[in-house]
Chain A
Amino acid sequence: MTNTNLEKYEVKETEGVFREDSFKVVGAKKESQDTIARPHVGILKESWLRLTKNKGAVVSLVIISLLVLLALLGPYMNEYTYEQTDYDKAFQEPNGEHWFGTDKFGRDQWTRIWEGTRISLYIALLASVLDLAIGVIYGSISALVGGKVDNIMQRIIEVLVGIPNLILIILLIMLMKPGIFTITVAMVITGWVNMARLVRSQVFKLKSQEFILASRALGASNGRLIKEHFIPNTLGLIIVNMMFTIPSAIFTEAFLSFIGLGLQEPLASLGVLINDGFEGMRNNFYLLLYPTLVIVGLMICFNLLADGLRDALDPKMRK
């Protein structure tokens, strides 16, 4: 192969002064051209490296970890439980015994806030994982099968998109008694649509790209295409969207509690605590302040982290 090619371009002696031996290859060594100088970096590691360069995202990650840790351990750091009432000690300002004070029933706010954070986080996490599962399956079936199936699946989504999410969630909660599970289910029923649409459009875009065609031409099976191309190329999008779902689920739960459709006493979530705090705000501002700080901290950090992840997982941002 190389010989025949070279023969074609061989310089005829009669045509000019340059001969084949007039030139000498300097410096370029064939072996060194193919050696890999730097260690191979996988997509996850590379994204991680890029993420750690984003100060906001790193700080957010630290704060989130801290809040999660407190949500898990906080309730056990003193002797009170979240439902233990003590009417003699109602409305105590934060002090050495009750670090965040007590509420109208004399319940310890510190315990209640971290218990509430745990429940809020649990609802948000569960909702976003379920969103992800349903959305990814629905979206990828819609895009991969295409044709009539896709058409019908898209019509269903169009109807769902027409209803403002929160209104539908409110109706569903009215139907099912508010509880940790029902709130999650109501959020998932409306929430998966967004993920499904994103995944569908991404898979559609990928389907028509040359590298997929090339892979198919080389004989790759459908399973291999999905495993090697579709999943890695949609993973970033899915992760980022999930990270944005978590804060919006935290918000939705708090919103529901605020209009009186939240968890029932004595259970606490951040929304329930904020609602109680709002009612007692005039005389006992600390009841509103602490749960507010926690929810705002969570929301800001999850948003910043999601922003950072979006940049980190986007190969176009590679420098």
Chain B
Amino acid sequence: MKKFLAVRIVNILVTLFVIATVTFFLMKLLPGSPFDEEKLAGLSDEDRMEFYARYGLDQPVAVQYAKYMGNLVKGDLGISYYYKGQQVESLISSRIGPSALLGAQAALLGVSIGLILGMIAAFRHNTMWDFFTMFIAVIGVAIPNFVFAALLQYYVGLKWGILPVAFWESYDSSILPTIALSMMVIALIARFMRNEMLEVLQQDYILTAKSKGLSQMNVIIRHTLRNSMIPIITILGPITVSLLTGSLVIENIFGVPGIGSLFVDSIKVNDYTTIMGLTLFYSAFYILTILVVDLLYGIVDPRIRLTGSKG
């Protein structure tokens, strides 16, 4: 176990190093500049050099790279090119709240509805219920989340005027984006849960439990549910991805001041340091999720030993 963890952590650090390096040089290769070229051209040579020096752009690329990596270790992501004088890490931390709230709500909503739908479909296998649930699952996977968000905004927000469409003012503003974000999660979980339950229901131990005379409820809760929920952990990775990438468009559509809209805005204004910082942040978050999933899986399912026999 310890060895497994050590190997994984080294792997993660290598991966993050590669990602940081690649994004750094990608940003250096990018055409265009975040600054107003015309204004810069109007400055005297001295002023221009001073301006570049402020962002550390007067030095050779190799030095910039070494500096960036050195600061990175200290948790310093550099100064934003667009938001004057702001550190990227403080930009991220000031805008992470709404994103975290949306993500958590969407995950909670998606997982609970998905589980319920999946259970219904499995227990009513090959009935209208099953058909209906799987229809929702297919739709959830198939409709692009921004299309769904746009339709929600049009009907619920504009036509019927039930909920606010944009602006982050009260708790109500988080409802529509949460629903839009959770759709994919619902679909993924419902489909997975259904298949798992159908498999578990065919196992001998369910038959044993039934023939022991356990009530239907007991069989469901103590044997079926518990065993079918274990593999759900494995799709936490894809779910995290769908929430992360979903937030990019959905925060933009509903005007949520989160890191998703920060990322898209930075792309539009060529704010390279912020783009790099967020890329690293997203990657780190994703990699850590996968690590947690692997660890959890080993704990929850005793049949799986991560490295050989000694756990």
Contacts and interface: CB of A to CB of B under 8 A. Distances in A.
Interface residues on B, range: 35 or more
A300 B139 CA distance: 7
Contacts of B144: 251, 254-255, 295-296, 299
B30 interface: yes
B14 A159 contact: yes
A117 B101 CA distance: 36
Contact of A259 (B19, B138, B158, B252): B252
A158 B151 CA distance: 37
Contacts of B290: 162
A163 interface: yes
A174 B267 contact: yes
Interface string B9-27: 0011011101100010010
Contacts of A304: 138
A175 B26 contact: yes
Interface in B283-311: 283, 286-287, 290
A260 B267 CA distance: 9
A292 B139 CA distance: 13
From B12, B146, B147, B286, residue with most partner A Cβ within 10 Å: B147
B142 A164 contact: no
Contacts, number: 103
Interface string B243-282: 0110011001100000000001001100000010001001
B267 A261 contact: yes
Nearest to B278: A167
B160 to A, nearest CB: 14
B303 to A, nearest CB: 19
A319 interface: no
A232 B15 CA distance: 35
B121 to A, nearest CB: 14
B15 A162 contact: yes
Contacts of A288: 150, 154
Interface stretch (A32-40, A137-145, A277-285): A277-285
B143 interface: yes
Chain B facing A: main interface SS: helix
B19 A163 contact: yes
A159 B18 CA distance: 8
Contacts of B283: 162-164, 167
Contacts of A260: 264, 267-268
B29 interface: yes
Interface in B198-249: 241, 244-245, 248-249
A247 interface: yes
Interface string A153-181: 00000110011111100111011010000
A125 interface: no
B141 interface: yes
Contacts of A165: 241, 245
B286 A170 contact: no
From B12, B26, B142, B248, residue with most partner A Cβ within 10 Å: B142
Interface in B156-184: 158
Nearest to A299: B142
Interface of A: 158-159, 162-167, 170-172, 174-175, 177, 247, 251, 254-255, 258-261, 274, 278, 281-282, 285, 288, 292, 295-296, 299-300, 302-304, 307
List of 9 A-B pairs having minimum Cβ-Cβ separation, nearest first: A299-B142, A162-B15, A300-B142, A166-B245, A162-B287, A159-B15, A303-B142, A259-B264, A278-B150
Given A162-B290, A164-B286, 8 more contacts: A158-B11, A167-B283, A254-B146, A278-B146, A278-B150, A288-B154, A292-B151, A299-B141
Interface of B: 11-12, 14-16, 18-19, 23, 26, 29-31, 138-139, 141-144, 146-147, 150-151, 153-154, 158, 241, 244-245, 248-249, 252-253, 264, 267-268, 275, 279, 282-283, 286-287, 290
14 contacts: A159-B15, A162-B15, A163-B286, A167-B279, A174-B26, A175-B30, A177-B31, A274-B147, A281-B154, A295-B147, A299-B141, A299-B142, A300-B143, A307-B138
